Amino acid sequence: MSLQTNLKPTKLFACLSEGTRLRLLALLSGDDELCVCELVHALADIQPKVSRHLAMLRQCGLVTDDRAGTRVYYRLAARLPPWADRVVRLAAAAVADEAPYRDDRARLAAMPNRPTRSQVA
């Protein structure tokens, strides 16, 4: 079964209702993909907490992950129903200029030595 038939509005809004998950989705909506280490840096939070929320977003069908060497990269799910993709992107745009979302984006932009896929052996 595809994500398009599994994702229901109640599931989407439950995933969006938690602050850390909304912050993660806001970051991911502005980038093709981000490594867990970038997300941890941007949120200024601990890796287990960020990974736990990423796993919940993956279970909801909102993000996908891809392992490259020792890194795991996350992105918004490509097969989201159009209505869900629009809700996520509108929510991210609506909070973009507010703290902590604005601060997350600034921390990510200022992160030294950000990983790139070309660094993977």
pLDDT tens sequence across 14-73: 999 999 999 999 999 999 999 999 999 999 999 999 999 999 999 999 999 999 989 999
Domains of the chain: 3-108 (1.10.10.10)
pTM: 0.90
- CA 34 vs CA 1, 7, 71: distances in Å: 27, 23, 10
**Which residue, chain included where needed, has tokens 């912050």?**
23
Q: Strands of 34-35's sheet, edge to edge?
A: 34-35, 71-76, 63-68
Confidence (pLDDT) at 120: 53
Instruction: Specify whether the CB–CB gap between 105 and 96 falls below 8 A.
Output: yes
Q: In this structure, what are the phi and psi dihedrals at residue 88, rounded to the nearest 5 degrees?
A: -60, -45
State pLDDT tens for residues 74-109. 999 999 999 999 999 999 999 999 999 999 999 999
* Whether pLDDT at 5 is above 70: no
